[in-house]
A and B are shown apart, each in its own frame.
Chain A
Amino acid sequence: MNRRLYDKLIFEHSRPGRSGYSLPRNDFDRHVGELPESCRRQEPPALPEVDEPTVVRHYTNSSTNNFGVDTGFYPLGSCTMKYNPKINDALAASRSIAALHPFQPAETVQGALEIYWELQRALSEIGGMAEFTLNPFAGAHGELTGLLVIKAYHLSRQDAGRDTVLVPDSAHGTNPASAAVAGFKVVEVKSLADGTVDVDDLRSKLNDSVAAMMMTNPNTVGMFEKNIPAIAKLVHEAGGLMYYDGANLNPMLGIARPGDMGFDVMHINLHKTFSTPHGGGGPGAGPVGVRKGLEPFLPNPRVVKKDDGTFDVAFDNTSLGRISGWLGNFTIYIRALAYILSLGSENLAKVGPLATLNANYVLNRLKDLYLLPIPGPCKHEFVFDGLKDKSTGVSTLNVAKRLLDFGFHAPTIYFPLLFHESLMIEPTETESRETLDSFIEAMRRIAEEAAKTPDVVKEAPHDTPVSHPDDTEAALHPITSWQDLCAAQK
């Protein structure tokens, strides 16, 4: 990627009279100008006017300011930044899907519906669930959908008093936010010193207002919740359901299924475990699976297989309702299904162990220099509480920024909130030993620098196109558009 910033905005390439499109000739007699004046825009929108080569060069140059999985190692904890296979993208670009309108009759989209169905079945097998909906657009949207399934279930039993969701205090902020958006109160459950759920604290918070307990497993610090059968039993006895946040599903591939652990509802981030690209923030997909008995509550529309083997789109009145315009981010499903089929049953089962091996390898090679608050073995990821030597004044933020100079993306920092200097590393199974070794070497060198020349680390990054952006100024006087920039320059 760039070491010097390509800093132009497309608006700065704009010259009146230029354009970058081609359209069929218009040989119709009538045009928008005949709409009443009160309906029409008087001034054209202030969009840039740019020719095609300029657009291509601008965005190509801009892309080289960016770091992606294809650029280098991305050990971002809890994000599972694995390799995104190219064949998946090639298949997703299929013209036979691109042209399909969502409201086409089912008999004209049988191939698309079959893709949805096959992926739904494969995820059900991997999750140990009865059925999946693929409709949710992202992990957070999946959480919301899963919680609404739970709400609809309790309401169907005339059990309307269940207004509370339990969330471990180590959970990501999205869990409580999703619960709040679904209209639940949130009660935190304490963690023990090893990061796992405090079962006694859980017991004290269970009552007939509890709708569900939300968990990841392994949890946020990369530890398997070995008390999970007991936890599930307690929650079920109190009348609540168990929700599995699939953010950390990757290390469980080939090892154990959430359904077998006692979870009733789960979501999967296809852009984590199933290799679909993050796209700088989306589009993702957050399919939601349910155990037998909860299928009627899944969102509309649903894809169903009829007795004659053909597929249809159905709307069910027991459903929690509609949570998306149609069936979700369809091209993501093509990628995820292609990933599952290209690995096949046997290789899919190796994903978890290899991801776990990579994480433990890095952990063991760095734990003499970085503080490991919870001893391994970890699963797919682990958390350091900053450098072991606390006398240097070098923070986790400094370490993260210094890593950028060495050509690595930073790990997740200051999460989980259980430790002051959290540095969360997830290497994934698609990284080679050589890549891990060079990362380990960089981390060791940073520790050495922290001891000998701490300012080099504290002032990092040095070699990136941008260094130390002023976040405070950005929040104090927000400039969020070209229009704001122009006004500020005046």
Chain B
Amino acid sequence: MLYFLPTHEYARIEGNVATIGISEFAAHQLGNVVYVDMPEEDDEVTKGEDFGAIESVKAASDLFSPVSGTVIEVNEALVENPRLVNEDPMNNWIIKVEMSDPSELESLLTPEAYEKVCEAEKH
């Protein structure tokens, strides 16, 4: 199951774990990613609040968490090679979170609804 925030983060749900990253659309908009500021394992994240930031040469965006819970893994590969996010953002996730309240998913965007958000931003 795949969900999105209007701020372009995705959450792929497997069991109680949300794998979080940024969308293709956002990766394209940012340009060459040069740094991903990530939390540490065991940090708590809250739905709708920032858990890190992503930087390209001339832009920076906060990363907002689609769910609340505890960080169980961060993608260490992005430390050495942040450009992985540009190459394949859906597979090069940023963090994995053990969800504390799966009911939060109900308020997230479906892929179809997110598609419309992107369309609107293109204009």
Identify the A interface with B (CB < 8 A): 471-472, 475-476
Contacts and interface: CB of A to CB of B under 8 A. Distances in A.
A472 B58 CA distance: 9
Contacts of A476: 34-35, 82-83
Contacts of A471: 57-58
Q: How large is the interface on B (under 10, 10 to 19, 20 to 34, 35 or more residues)?
A: under 10
Contacts of A475: 34-35, 55, 57
Contacts of B83: 476
B46 interface: no
A203 B120 CA distance: 28
B32 interface: yes
Interface in B9-68: 32, 34-35, 55, 57-58
A472 B83 CA distance: 10
A471 B33 CA distance: 12
A471 B32 CA distance: 10
A203 B32 CA distance: 40
Interface string B61-85: 0000000000000000000001100
A416 to B, nearest CB: 15
13 contacts: A471-B57, A471-B58, A472-B32, A472-B34, A472-B57, A475-B34, A475-B35, A475-B55, A475-B57, A476-B34, A476-B35, A476-B82, A476-B83
A475 B30 CA distance: 14
Nearest to B31: A472
Nearest to A477: B34
A-B complex: 6 closest residue pairs judged by Cβ atoms: A475-B34, A472-B32, A471-B57, A476-B34, A475-B57, A472-B57
Nearest to A474: B57
A227 B54 CA distance: 39
A472 B59 CA distance: 12
B51 to A, nearest CB: 20
A471 B35 CA distance: 13
A176 to B, nearest CB: 14
A241 to B, nearest CB: 30
Nearest to B83: A476
Contacts of B55: 475
Interface string B87-109: 00000000000000000000000
Nearest to A475: B34
Contacts of B35: 475-476
A117 B32 CA distance: 51
Nearest to A414: B58
B41 to A, nearest CB: 24
A476 B86 CA distance: 13
Nearest to A473: B34
B17 to A, nearest CB: 30
Nearest to B57: A471
Nearest to A476: B34
A475 B32 CA distance: 10
A485 B58 CA distance: 24
A230 to B, nearest CB: 33
A273 to B, nearest CB: 29
A151 to B, nearest CB: 26
Nearest to A472: B32
A149 B32 CA distance: 41
A447 B1 CA distance: 51
A150 B83 CA distance: 44
Given A471-B58, A472-B57, 5 more contacts: A471-B57, A472-B34, A475-B55, A475-B57, A476-B82
B117 to A, nearest CB: 20
A110 to B, nearest CB: 50
A475 B35 CA distance: 8
A485 B15 CA distance: 48
Contacts of B32: 472
A3 B33 CA distance: 32
A471 B55 CA distance: 13
B62 to A, nearest CB: 14
Contacts of A472: 32, 34, 57
A476 B55 CA distance: 10
A471 B83 CA distance: 14
A484 to B, nearest CB: 16
A472 B82 CA distance: 11
Contacts of B58: 471
B80 to A, nearest CB: 10
A422 to B, nearest CB: 14
A475 B54 CA distance: 13
A472 B57 CA distance: 6
A173 B19 CA distance: 33
A454 B11 CA distance: 43
Contacts of B57: 471-472, 475
A284 B83 CA distance: 38
A421 to B, nearest CB: 15
A476 B58 CA distance: 12
Nearest to B32: A472
B109 to A, nearest CB: 25
A472 B81 CA distance: 12
A476 B32 CA distance: 10
Nearest to B35: A475
B53 to A, nearest CB: 14
A261 B35 CA distance: 45
Nearest to B81: A476
A376 B34 CA distance: 40
